[in-house]
Amino acid sequence: MAIFSQNVITQVSGFDNPLITGELVYNQSTYWNLVFTSGGTAVNLTGATINAQIVRRTVSNLQDTRNGLSFNIGNYEPTPTPVNLTITNRVDASGSFTLVIDDSVWSLISSDPELDINAVNPVCFSGRIKISFPAGGGNPADDGIIFLMFLVRSDGIVVV
């Protein structure tokens, strides 16, 4: 599992926002089971809308430091269309759901130069999970945001 420096985390999510990070291998499908909590107690998601999106980014000045991977993240050119990620296994009462990471919808192709085994700066995606709670019980509408950021690298087999 990759460890990212505080500088990278701050670039993506600010100083105190939740962030899920990871390093994936090209053509890898995976998922993250999540539980939305407040003060250690599961938040009931009944009536909430959950969606997740990512967008392609650029990485520059990648360095492996004592404090984790450090790099600058920037906008990809031409500007890509955000990709919707799938939310499944939603259990409102327990505040849980699964975020599906399926690279078949990202439009990465094996000839992408940032997937070369010797690429200095790998493919990067950033985005967010947005949990929108409606107004109710005297409370105004509220959005919970969890930022996402992950790198995609070659496995040296499919993309060399």
Domain with 41 in it: 6-153
Question: Does residue 45 sit within a domain?
Answer: yes
8 Å CB contact between 50 and 130: yes
Question: Does residue 160 sit within a domain?
Answer: no
User: Bigger pLDDT: 27 or 82?
Assistant: 82
At 82, list the tokens.
Answer: 């955000």
Pairing of β 96-102 and β 29-35: antiparallel
Number of domains in the chain: 1
pLDDT > 80? residue 93: yes
In this structure, what CATH number is given to the domain that contains residue 53?
2.60.40
Mean pLDDT, residues 9-26: 74
User: Bigger pLDDT: 64 or 126?
Assistant: 126
Q: Tokens 């991977």 sit at which residue?
A: 69
- The residue type of 159 is V
Question: Does residue 159 sit within a domain?
Answer: no
Q: For position 5, what pLDDT does the model report?
A: 54
**Model confidence pLDDT, tens digit, residues 33-80:** 999 998 999 999 999 999 999 999 988 887 787 777 778 888 998 988
* Burial of 61: CB neighbours in 10 Å, binned 0-12, 13-18, 19+: exposed
Q: For position 1, what pLDDT does the model report?
A: 47
Q: Taking the C-alpha atoms of 25, 21, 36 and 32 in order, what is their torsion angle to the nearest 10 degrees?
A: 10
